[in-house]
Amino acid sequence: MNWAALTGATPIIQAHAYAAFAAIALGAVQFALAKGTAPHRALGFGWVALMIVVAGSSMFIHTIRSFGPFSPIHGLSIFTLFSVPFAVLAARRGEIETHRRTMQSLYILALIVTGGFTLWPGRIMHKVVFGG
């Protein structure tokens, strides 16, 4: 692992990456916890905060430019910024299936799939994982 590639990146990219790492780990813990419990809710609010940081910080990262300074990933970030509060409200309204489906989809799409794209050659996380 070549952490220098990340520690040498801009502060916004570092904050984005570290929040994403934490959200991936915390999300995995959430999947293992009993649902509806106080620990699930407390850790869930932490995960929500991390996802807001991940999606929000991505709006200031413009290393891929497809449409002016933006890329399709920014669209996923906007989707995430709307979906996270939607999922929280669904849980508060007792719409647990909607909450579960939305949170699982966010974990898979906004963290795992998008995270996979960071491993493409030329990207910072590719350098971290594969050297270079």
Please tell me the predicted confidence (pLDDT) of residue 122: 87
Q: Model pTM? A: 0.90
Q: What is the pLDDT of residues 61-74, one digit of tens each?
A: 877 666 667 677 87
The pLDDT, as a whole number, for residue 65 is: 62
Q: What is the mean pLDDT of residues 33-41?
A: 94
Angle at 87 between CA 84 and CA 93, to 5 degrees: 145
Q: Could you tell me if 54 and 16 are in contact, meaning their C-beta atoms sit under 8 angstroms apart?
A: yes
Expressed in percent and rounded to 5, the helix, strand and coil fractions of the chain are 75, 0, 25
The dihedral over CA atoms of 32, 34, 38, 42, expressed in degrees to the nearest 10, equals: 20
Residue appearing with tokens 């915390």: 26
Residues 5-17: tens digit of each pLDDT: 999 999 999 999 9
pLDDT, the chain, mean = 92
Using 50, 70 and 90 to split pLDDT, how confident is the model at 35?
A: very high
